Amino acid sequence: MNIPERAAQLLSLEGKVAMVTGAASGIGRGIALALAGMGSVVAVLDIDEQGGIETVSKISERGDRAVFIRCDVRSSHDCAEAATKTVERFGKINVLCNNAGIVIRKTVLELQEDEWDLVLDVTLKSVYRLSREVIPHMIRGGGGSIINTGSGWSLKGGSRAAAYCTAKAGVLNLTRAMAIDHGKDNIRVNCVCPGDVDTPMLKSECVQLGDDPRRFTEDAANRPIHRVGTPSDVANAVLFLASDMANWITGAHLLVDGGGLA
């Protein structure tokens, strides 16, 4: 077997079943497309039904398999139902990508308590909720891979983003804790930490801050690799962590930020 064939074999997700939250748009959609492109069946989870169905359509157009499951990651019931429906339909879950998140650009003084709760509920607590439902299925199946979406702000602070920075820092350390707890179950848990990526969320930040979109994008691209990231940039990192190419990597975080924190 030559090197390209060996690499393709290691990256292949043929026969795997993946679940991706926040997959109706942006990074989540990019992850779903990448995993499906390497052979995985994908359960597309989101509260946005139209966007989720569009993601499934894009996957199906290429001849790959996916299903949309409406899931509000703030709801323990929805998370349990999503796991049950996926296993009932496909028999297992091999890969879980906890990607759902929300950003509110405010300081501690500006944040209302319900806004703080919303950001932490969607961005951090959802990782706990979905993992709690999926890990027992992975254990029964002999193992799996969990990839959580952190942020550059998992590692450093940012202005007017107190709740988001807190949530993403929590995602990173929760990743480490889960990796320690479930290594014995042959479950790898890692975290991908994107920088600024061209998504609807990045555009919403610009609106929230009342900034000029062109200047905002120029500032976001001010890094060693002079451009804003794309969903596929992050998705390729997730694909690596989900695959057998990373089968001795757990408890790690992978910065995907064009060198922004270098």
Q: Which residues are catalytic?
A: 164
Strand (E) or helix (H) holding 148: strand 144-149
Secondary structure of residue 192 in the 3-state scheme: strand
Measured CA to CA, the distance from residue 128 to residue 149 in angstroms comes to 13
Measured CA to CA, the distance from residue 102 to residue 218 in angstroms comes to 22
- Which residues, other chains included, contact 41 with Cβ-Cβ below 8 Å and sequence gap of 6+? 16, 17, 18, 65, 66, 67, 90
Measured CA to CA, the distance from residue 246 to residue 205 in angstroms comes to 33
The letter for the amino acid at 171 is: V
Relative to beta strand 95-98, strand 17-21 is: parallel
Sign of CA dihedral 236, 200, 130, 64: negative
